[in-house]
Structure formats: structure tokens, C-alpha cells
Amino acid sequence: MSLPSADDLFRPTADPTPPQTGDHASPDSPDAPGAAPDRAPDGAPGAPADDRGAGSAGEPADPAATPRARRGAARPSGRVRHDEKMTVYITSEELLAIEHARLALRSGHGLAVDRGRLVREAVAMVLADFEADGEDSALVRRLTRE
């Protein structure tokens, strides 16, 4: 049994180079014709279709025996890949308030959200209020107080 290399674990999601064809592609490379796909039909990464449920690599043969299966079906996290990034500096009190809100959402409402999503939702709410109420919005009131 061999363990995957770092290149196998940390490969890019989109290959920027065109696949190799012809004499340059080795029969073992994932780009070779007839090579096994990166994802098996059941969604297991890197597992060939023939090995599904076989219990190879230390995995139980019965998928219901896994801790995740016992907990129930996994819900999507709601995380979305974003193309743009903006850095904002905040005070330690503001960061603690964001963390407190995040933990309150998790404990009181069962919502596991990261700080980025929490901030994006708050910004969306403020901008919607500003668009709907204009000068009477909470954003204008708060910014004119300063």
C-alpha cells in the first residue's frame, strides 16, 4: 500500500495546461486515453469505480458504518467561492462582536457560518436597506452621526 503524494493531495481544481496527447502521455497519467477519472461515479475522489464499497485503504465496506453516515446526510455548508477580495481593518471589539454573533448563530439557531459569510450577509442587509430607504436608511443615519 502506498500513500498519495503531495501532488495528488494538493492538485489544482482546473488544469491551466492542455492535456498531453500522443507519445508524451504515459499510460498511467490521468490525462491518458482510457485512464481512470479523478472522481468515481459515486463521488469518491480518486477511487476507481471497481473499488467502491470494497473496504480498501482502511475504509469500512459498509458506508453506514462511518461516523458521518450515522449522523445523517451532510448538509451543504453554504460556502461559495468568490472571485474578489477586499481587506477591511476592524477593531478588536468589532472582531469579538462578529465572533460572538457567529457563535450565537451556531448555538442558538444551529447555523454554522464563517466570519466572511456573516460579514457578507450584514453588508447585503445594509445595502438593501440603503437602496430601499435612501436618506432614511440606517447607513446614512450612522454615517452622518460621525
**Per-residue pLDDT in tens (0 to 9) along the chain, 146 residues:** 778 777 777 766 665 665 555 555 444 544 544 544 444 444 444 444 444 444 445 555 555 555 555 555 666 666 678 889 999 999 999 999 999 999 999 999 999 999 999 999 999 999 999 999 999 999 999 999 97
Tally of helices (H runs) and strands (E runs) in the chain: 5, 0
Beta carbons within 8 Å of 77's beta carbon, 6+ residues apart: 112
- Distances in Å between the Cα of 135 and the Cα atoms of 3, 122, 124, 125, 128 are 61, 19, 17, 16, 13
Amino acid 58: pLDDT? 53
Joined together, the cell numbers standing for residue 40 give 468515481
Amino acid 66: pLDDT? 56
Amino acid 14: pLDDT? 63
CB atoms within 10 A of CB 47: 20
Helices (H), the chain: 6-9, 67-71, 92-109, 115-133, 138-145
Question: How far apart (Å, rounded) are the C-alpha atoms in residues 7 and 49?
Answer: 22
Amino acid 10: pLDDT? 72
Residues 119/98, Cβ–Cβ less than 8 Å: yes
